[in-house]
Amino acid sequence: MTNASAPGRPVDPVVVGLVANRLYSLLDEQQAALVNTAFSPVVRESLDLACAVFDSRGEMIGQSSGGTPGHINAMATGMSHIVAKYPPGSLADGDVLITNDPWMTAGQINDITVATPVFRDGTLIAWFASCCHSPDIGGRILSAAATEVFEEGLRLPILKLRTAAGPDEPLEELIRANVRTPDETMGDIYAQVAANQVGARSLGRMMDEFGLDGIDAVAAEIMLRSEKALRTALRGLRDGRYTSRLRSDGFNGEPIDLAVAVTIDGDRVDIDYTGSSPQSRHGVNVVLNYTRAYTSFAVKAALAPEVPHNAGSFRPVHVSAPRGSVLNCVDPAPVASRHLVGHFLPSLLFDALRPAVPGGLPATSSDALWMTVWRGGDMGETHPFTLTVFGAGGTGGRPGKDGLNTTGFPTGVRAAPTEVLETLTPLVQRQRELRPDSGGPGEHRGGLGQVVRVGRRGDHGWTLNANIDRVDTPAPGTLGGLPGAPGEFTDATTSAQLPRKQLVRLAPDSVVRLRFPGGGGYGDPKARPVERVLDDVVNGYVSLDAAREYYGVHIEYVGDPGALVRPPSSYRVVRARD
């Protein structure tokens, strides 16, 4: 065997490339095992998860092709806490660790990290870990209404979930007793354990094939390649200090201001969030781990999206935020809806970096993923349910391209199919369609949001927590582009506004309507080619009135007024721009 961990021993670059590709393959095996054995639609359908492999010191070597930046990057930095709590001498083959401490990993207690140390001949050689959004963790149903993290549910420090002797049964009983969905919650945790085992077994087979008795030396080369690639990308930019500001809705009429100063100096970048709002009294606060997660993602996405993602790509990026600010909150601040602020960071950074990046960067997106938590738990409810559903608005217009419709950026989480939601619960989606005129007008139009109406079957009351943003503060346009449409959360019958980020109690016959925000436009709308405006009208993305008002293109519908299908021949351009 080759001692690939021996200090100073050169590593064959061909072996590095082969091992790197095999690691990505087995990480996808790990994710597939997790998804295919998970109990909840949060993991199984929406892929609100991350899978990764780490060297013996807990530095991330690679991630699966799926997963969210908030999970993967926060887990990557959070592994240092896990390794510090359980150094190699305190672990044995068969141990599995668990935590959902927000300040240790992914920033909210609904996100559970399961980490498995991998041993070979009695020596710890690697770690496999995953982080998943739990279907429930007790406390308040996920919202921003709490005033302390203690209200938000069961908080698990870094603990041993299992040893070679078997599971910690009292710990499992404790988790089950404190959540509304014990089978789904523990089922997902078991799936995480199983997926880590799949990764570990595949790693062992790979090491046998290549004759390795450790992976640290190969891992160091993999990480170094990513670090060098990102530093090369940074050297291609103009040195300087770049700033930006954005605003999110915050909570109950108290908006959150985000400020950033980006300093590019050769092959490193310093990102300082001084000037952002102080931490909130409510659960929209972000831990520094999560701030770093979406910051490092944004830098890599802007400068070198093709570079493999690992600890090496974090090294040139230095992040700071004032202690006690909304982006570096202090325990026991409430943090359940931290994504409603953290998801704004890529757009904030893109806006700051736009003058420095050749070719430009996208306009501001709708940003925050819309997360709704539906609950039916009346005494007479035959099958009580708690269901988390995700949805997305539009992304910002891009240099040379329109924004993407109803796309989760920067998170990547998927929306579960309507059939799945209606099979698992008495919920009924009465409408789910694109929202015309929601994309910000521009030479490159912002992506569209969507309209969703939901009711329920049965005679029982139900509740909804709508953890949403960009209702008060729509996504601004860029370089002459116009803002996207703001979001709305209303009673579908009366059109009355409903409270956001907190519990809403609904009557059995209630129907709620969610109108998702659109992305900001990129460039002057009057520069958009007439034929593209016509295409937007034909496709139902832009109304006749909006085409005339924002794009200066007068289009007439000449087909059957009652037709449901309206082909391109049903429209004609009456007058283009003067």
**Residue 424 located in a structural domain:** yes
| Same-domain pairing of 491 and 569 | no
Do 420 and 562 lie in one domain? The reply is: no
pLDDT digits (tens, 9 = 90+) for 47-69: 999 999 999 999 999 999 888 99
For residue 326, being part of any structural domain is answered with: no
Helices vs. strands in the chain: H and E counts, helices first: 13, 21
Gap between the Cα atoms of 523 and 286, Å rounded? 32
Asked if residue 10 has pLDDT above 80, the reply is no
Mean pLDDT (the chain) is 96
Confidence (pLDDT) at 165: 97
Predicted pLDDT at 379 = 86
Q: Does any domain span residue 499?
A: yes
Mean pLDDT of 127-134: 98
Q: What share of the chain has pLDDT > 90, as a percent?
A: 95
Do 425 and 560 reside in the same domain of the chain? Answer: no
Bridge partners for 50 per DSSP: 131
Same domain, 497 and 548: no
pLDDT at 3 over 80: no
Which pTM does this prediction carry? 0.95
Write down the pLDDT at residue 460.
Answer: 96
- Mean pLDDT, residues 321-332: 98
Q: Which domain-ending residue is among 227, 247, 265?
A: 227
Which pLDDT value is given to residue 578? 59
Give residue-wise pLDDT tens across range 212-269: 999 999 999 999 999 999 999 999 999 999 999 999 999 999 999 999 999 999 999 9
Name the pLDDT band for 281 (thresholds 50, 70, 90): very high
- Same-domain status, 488 and 565: no
Judge if 545 and 445 occupy the same domain: no
Residues 77 and 163 in one domain: yes
Q: How confident is the model at residue 210 (pLDDT cuts 50, 70, 90)?
A: very high
Q: How far is CA 329 from CA 104, 251, 287, 417, in A?
A: 13, 16, 5, 35
Q: Give 576's pLDDT tier (boundaries 50, 70, 90).
A: confident
Distance CA 480, CA 356 (A): 18
Whether the pLDDT of residue 8 is over 60: the answer is no
How many structural domains are present in the chain? 3
Domain final residue, candidates 227, 246, 278: 227
- How many CB atoms neighbour CB 16 within 10 A? 19
Please state the rounded mean pLDDT for residues 388-414. Answer: 96
Task: Answer whether residue 540 shows pLDDT above 90.
Answer: yes
- Whether 286 shows a pLDDT value over 50: the answer reads yes
Instruction: Report the pLDDT averaged over residues 166-192.
Output: 98
Looking at the fold, whether 168 and 33 belong to one and the same domain comes out as yes
The reply to whether 99 and 204 lie within a common domain is yes
Give the distance from CA 317 to its chain's centroid.
20
End residue of a domain, out of 227, 261, 284: 227
Do 439 and 544 lie in one domain? The reply is no
**Is 438 domain-assigned?**
yes
202 with 64, same domain?
yes
Residue 247 belongs to a domain: no
Residue 317 lies in a domain: no
| Domain coverage including residue 544 | 529-578
CA distance 476 to 454: 29
46 and 195 share one domain? yes
